A and B are shown apart, each in its own frame.
Chain A
Amino acid sequence: MPKFNRWWISKPAVFVVCLVPMVWLVWDTFAGNLSANPIEDIRNRTGIWTLRFLMITLSVTPLRRIIGWPSLIRFRRMLGLFAFFYAFVHFITYIWLDQAFAWNEIVKDMISKRPFILSGVASFVLLIPLAITSTKKWIGRLGGKRWQMIHRLIYLSAVVGVLHYYWRVKLDIARPLAYGAVLAVLLGLRLTVAAVYDRRPVGAHRAPLQ
């Protein structure tokens, strides 16, 4: 597997795999495979894939350490950008297909004590600076430390995203809670690793944690 990670075809291959949920959704839409409420289906499916890609992105760093595939880092940016891509499609589905650009309705949705819509928008907006500064040039411009600080916003985006899912369901909270549990493990692993590293003497090798 680590060999695959470094092979030239690995990135295009992962790219294609990441596109599958989107292609599959477009196919279902135009083949008439969606339910009687297709907009709801598009909304639900792009939303759930956003969360999945956030989790996949967040699992890169722990996986690199735990199973010892440092080369996985090569895919992290692409996976994160796919999380942003699905979030973007999800957001546009809400603004365009669902609300048909009725801005007064959208604003009302957000401000009139509806954490459900607000959390979704927040989760998406938090990813925008990450997508913009995802290039090598921006890492150089910001400097590694500052860049890393900014990119820790993904933790917040994922937490708020899971809350958004939790507020979306009625009483069937098991699925959102399952996503919350996975996220807790992914974030918890970081805290554990950080604690271990903090006990090491200054100057010991410290790989960046994100």
Chain B
Amino acid sequence: MLIKRASDIASSEITPENLYHNRREFIKTASAVLGIAAAGAIVPACTNSAVSGMTQSKPKGKYDTDEKPTPYEDVTHYNNYYEFGIDKADPAANSGKFKPTPWTVSVEGMVKKPASYSLDDLLKGLTPEERVYRMRCVEAWSMVIPWTGVPLAALIARLEPTPAAKYVEFKTIMRPDEMPGQRPSVFGSGLHWPYTEGLRMDEAMNPLALLVTGVYGKPALAQNGAPIRLVTPWKYGFKGVKSIVKIRFTDKQPLTAWNEAAPQEYGFFANVNPQVDHPRWSQASERRIGEFYKRRTLMFNGYADQVAQMYSGMDLRKSY
């Protein structure tokens, strides 16, 4: 039998300390639930790990959740970023060659100033903010992540799209040399590259939509979408297009990556909605990474107050 995973590296060599603490919490709960008293004996008592001084000292902002942030190690080692491979550990493992600098973003389409910008120029003068958001994956797991970024609305206002622009489309960089998942492979993701995402203009202008450059107060790592990515916390995680190189304003609804690949399963809007299940699994509940029991999924991932009005009058079963 072939053993697929290298097990010759001691976990102590690769697992940072706070991750251990997280595991221990899981093991403790698991042991309790399973009634394995003996297992408790092999899990020594431990003090709480310092997660990140920064996020804990910062006063809670208007859009921040006060839920406990997911440990940094999990945020950076449990990822869906198919350009680096389809398994959750692949993005951290396979992104070593990825170069986030220098970086150019081209702004195209129905906009007053179509041009290519260096990342610095694109964001110059915009004030980065830290936002602690929930992140709900379409696979029914979730995290709480402290992002650093600029409101997308602020950038769009500066780029001045023409009144004809109804949508904004984003594209991920195409670099098969640095992104092994973009190379043709039988065992690939099944998606078409480059990854494309998009928002309706009112969604893009919503104050929650963030162009993220940092995670936990540090520059975002490749596996989190460096150097610039989208975060729309009321939508499923796959809307958060990573490593953006193209922003295009258009009057037509963009053909987005997952919607193109499996339209009956993934819609353009992809709003978190516990009442509309994925055709193959329930979206009513989710597992928060680090927790044992599932929790109920909230409408619009708990951001209904900020976003629900954008969808009033729409049939969310049809526009999923």
- Chain A residues in the interface with B (C-beta under 8 A): 17, 20-21, 24, 28-40, 52, 96-100, 102, 105, 108-109, 112-117, 167-168, 170-175
Within 8 Å of chain A (Cβ to Cβ): is B183?
no
Q: Which of A31, A117, A174 contacts B188 (CB 8 A)?
A: A174
Q: Which of A35, A98, A105 contacts B89 (CB 8 A)?
A: A35
Contact A31 B281 (CB under 8 A): no
* Least Cβ–Cβ distance between B63 and chain A, in angstroms: 25
Residues on the A chain within 8 Å of B68, using CB? none
Kindly state the separation between the CA atoms of A35 and B88 in the bound complex, as whole angstroms.
8
* Least Cβ–Cβ distance between B39 and chain A, in angstroms: 6
Within 8 Å of chain A (Cβ to Cβ): is B77?
yes
Kindly state the separation between the CA atoms of A36 and B18 in the bound complex, as whole angstroms.
12
Contact A171 B77 (CB under 8 A): no
Residues on the A chain within 8 Å of B24, using CB? 32
Q: 15 pairs across A/B with beta carbons < 8 Å?
A: A21-B1, A29-B27, A30-B42, A35-B88, A36-B290, A37-B287, A38-B26, A96-B33, A99-B294, A100-B294, A102-B294, A105-B282, A105-B285, A109-B281, A172-B189
In addition to A20-B1, A33-B7, 19 A-B residue pairs with Cβ atoms within 8 Å of each other are A30-B39, A30-B43, A32-B15, A32-B23, A33-B15, A36-B77, A36-B289, A37-B78, A37-B287, A37-B289, A38-B23, A100-B294, A109-B282, A112-B277, A113-B279, A116-B280, A167-B280, A170-B190, A171-B261
Kindly state the separation between the CA atoms of A37 and B294 in the bound complex, as whole angstroms.
12
Number of A-B contacts (CB under 8 A): 97
Within 8 Å of chain A (Cβ to Cβ): is B86?
yes
Residues on the B chain within 8 Å of A31, using CB? 11
Q: Which of A35, A99, A108, A170 contacts B78 (CB 8 A)?
A: A35
| A35 and B77 contact, Cβ closer than 8 Å, known pairs A52-B1, A172-B189 | yes
| A175 and B15 contact, Cβ closer than 8 Å, known pairs A35-B78, A100-B294, A105-B284 | no
Contact B78 A36 (CB under 8 A): yes
Contact B30 A29 (CB under 8 A): yes
Contact A32 B11 (CB under 8 A): yes
Kindly state the separation between the CA atoms of A40 and B288 in the bound complex, as whole angstroms.
12
Kindly state the separation between the CA atoms of A172 and B191 in the bound complex, as whole angstroms.
9
Most buried by B among A31, A108, A115, A173: A31
User: Which of chain B's residues 186-204 have a Cβ closer than 8 Å to chain A?
Assistant: 186-191
Chain B interface size range? 35 or more
Kindly state the separation between the CA atoms of A97 and B291 in the bound complex, as whole angstroms.
11
Residues on the A chain within 8 Å of B271, using CB? none
- Chain B residues in the interface with A (C-beta under 8 A): 1, 3, 7, 11, 15, 19-20, 22-24, 26-27, 30, 33, 39, 42-43, 70, 73-74, 77-78, 86, 88-89, 141, 186-191, 261-262, 277, 279-282, 284-285, 287, 289-290, 292-294
| A171 and B11 contact, Cβ closer than 8 Å, known pairs A32-B20, A36-B78 | no
* Least Cβ–Cβ distance between A40 and chain B, in angstroms: 7
Contact A172 B188 (CB under 8 A): yes
Kindly state the separation between the CA atoms of A24 and B4 in the bound complex, as whole angstroms.
12
Residues on the B chain within 8 Å of A21, using CB? 1
Q: Closest A residue to B43 by CB, please name it.
A: A30
Residues on the B chain within 8 Å of A168, using CB? 280
Q: Which of A39, A52, A96, A167 contacts B287 (CB 8 A)?
A: A39
Residues on the B chain within 8 Å of A173, using CB? 190
Contact A40 B141 (CB under 8 A): yes
Kindly state the separation between the CA atoms of A166 and B40 in the bound complex, as whole angstroms.
37
Q: Closest B residue to A113 by CB, please name it.
A: B279
* Least Cβ–Cβ distance between A21 and chain B, in angstroms: 8
7 closest Cβ pairs, A-B complex: A171-B190, A32-B23, A36-B78, A36-B74, A174-B187, A116-B280, A172-B86
Kindly state the separation between the CA atoms of A108 and B301 in the bound complex, as whole angstroms.
22
Contact A171 B23 (CB under 8 A): no
Residues on the A chain within 8 Å of B262, using CB? 170-171
Residues on the A chain within 8 Å of B294, using CB? 98-100, 102
Contact B191 A171 (CB under 8 A): yes
Kindly state the separation between the CA atoms of A31 and B14 in the bound complex, as whole angstroms.
13
Kindly state the separation between the CA atoms of A174 and B188 in the bound complex, as whole angstroms.
8
Kindly state the separation between the CA atoms of A96 and B36 in the bound complex, as whole angstroms.
14
Kindly state the separation between the CA atoms of A174 and B290 in the bound complex, as whole angstroms.
30
Q: Closest A residue to B70 by CB, please name it.
A: A36
Kindly state the separation between the CA atoms of A117 and B140 in the bound complex, as whole angstroms.
15
Residues on the A chain within 8 Å of B285, using CB? 105
Kindly state the separation between the CA atoms of A32 and B280 in the bound complex, as whole angstroms.
30
* Least Cβ–Cβ distance between A9 and chain B, in angstroms: 19
Contact B287 A114 (CB under 8 A): no
Kindly state the separation between the CA atoms of A116 and B317 in the bound complex, as whole angstroms.
21
Contact A108 B282 (CB under 8 A): yes
Kindly state the separation between the CA atoms of A25 and B203 in the bound complex, as whole angstroms.
44
| A116 and B281 contact, Cβ closer than 8 Å, known pairs A29-B30, A35-B78, A171-B262 | yes
Contact A100 B293 (CB under 8 A): yes
